[in-house]
Amino acid sequence: MLDISRVQAITIDLDDTLWPIWPTIARAEKVLIEWLLTVAPGTSALLASPETARMLRAQAAAQNTHLSHDLSVLRRETIRLALRQAGEDEALTTQGFDVFFAERQRVDLFDDAIATLEFLSARHPVVALSNGNSNLQLIGIDRFFKASISARDFGIAKPDPRIFHEAARVLDVEPAAILHVGDDATLDAHGAIGAGMQAVWLNRADSVWPHEAAPHATVRDLAALCRLLG
């Protein structure tokens, strides 16, 4: 059971917790493909094919296993591989990634996200803890956070306890005094429990909990989280 009296700080996931990520990624990929059409049409055609795009992403991941925590590197290398396969200018890689990345920051927050961030940040210091490559300042919500820790910058991804412990270090509290909130049963809730934190699982889809040790609480949405902590 969740012990609210122990909570001195909050860590929270970003993608699929504060906004749905796959519509964002799909839109960013579409913008990239449209931009490439004007400068590298062969590459645009390759990435417009879902099967070819999946193959290129898998190839980029296989060639950069030591950087599996860095989604920006993997996206950039996917673009580079597509340019190479199409016989077009690989110097366009960085500009292409910048086009994708800018659109990737245009997220559509869940309706209860801002009210929840206002609620949480008014009560406790909040740290973003993400395996993704979101930029809180570009999104426009950095004012709610004490810090943002990403797997890309830290070098280790959730559910490894070390990234959770880095949040505890930044917050200057023991892991047991932190409540982690996230949508992924394994990466977020199970990972936080393994790191000695309390965990609230944000389970919008009514999924079945896949692990033996249960989360300290489960909520359907962020508004329910606020009610739980209120």
Average pLDDT, the chain: 97
**Pair of tokens at residue 57:** 């992403």
Asked if 100 and 63 sit in the same domain, the reply is yes
**% of the chain with per-residue pLDDT over 70:** 100
Q: What is the pLDDT of residue 199?
A: 98
Task: Report the CATH number at residue 43.
Answer: 1.20.120.1600
Q: What is the pLDDT of residue 68?
A: 84
The per-residue pLDDT for range 145-179, each reduced to its tens digit, is 999 999 999 999 999 999 999 999 999 999 999 99
Whole-number Å distance between alpha carbons of 86 and 100 = 19
The per-residue pLDDT for range 172-229, each reduced to its tens digit, is 999 999 999 999 999 999 999 999 999 999 999 999 999 999 999 999 999 999 999 9
State the DSSP code for 203.
-
- Please say which residue of 82, 104, 126 terminates a domain: 104
Structural domain count, the chain: 2
**Alpha helix (H) ranges present in 40-135?**
41-48, 50-63, 71-86, 93-104, 113-123
Residue with the two structure tokens 């820790």: 149
Q: What is the pLDDT of residue 84?
A: 98
Q: What is the pLDDT of residue 141?
A: 98
Q: What is the pLDDT of residue 45?
A: 98
Asked if 68 and 139 sit in the same domain, the reply is no
Q: What is the pLDDT of residue 201?
A: 98
Q: Which helix (H) or strand (E) holds 163?
A: helix 161-171
∠ Cα 46 50 56 (to 5°)? 60
Q: What is the pLDDT of residue 117?
A: 98
Does 42 have pLDDT greater than 90? yes
Q: What is the pLDDT of residue 34?
A: 98
- In a 3-state reduction of DSSP, which class is residue 176? helix
Asked if 90 and 150 sit in the same domain, the reply is no
Asked if 47 and 83 sit in the same domain, the reply is yes
Q: What is the mean pLDDT of residues 96-111?
A: 97
- Please say which residue of 62, 83, 104 terminates a domain: 104
Boundaries of domain holding 99: 22-104
Task: Report the CATH number at residue 9.
Answer: 3.40.50.1000
Q: What is the pLDDT of residue 181?
A: 98
Asked if 94 and 120 sit in the same domain, the reply is no
The per-residue pLDDT for range 64-85, each reduced to its tens digit, is 888 888 889 999 999 999 999 9
Q: What is the pLDDT of residue 66?
A: 86
Asked if 89 and 118 sit in the same domain, the reply is no
Does 7 have pLDDT greater than 90? yes
Q: What is the pLDDT of residue 60?
A: 95
Residue of 60, 71, 128, 82 lying closest to 104 (CA atoms): 71
Asked if 138 and 223 sit in the same domain, the reply is yes
Asked if 189 and 98 sit in the same domain, the reply is no
Q: What is the pLDDT of residue 67?
A: 83
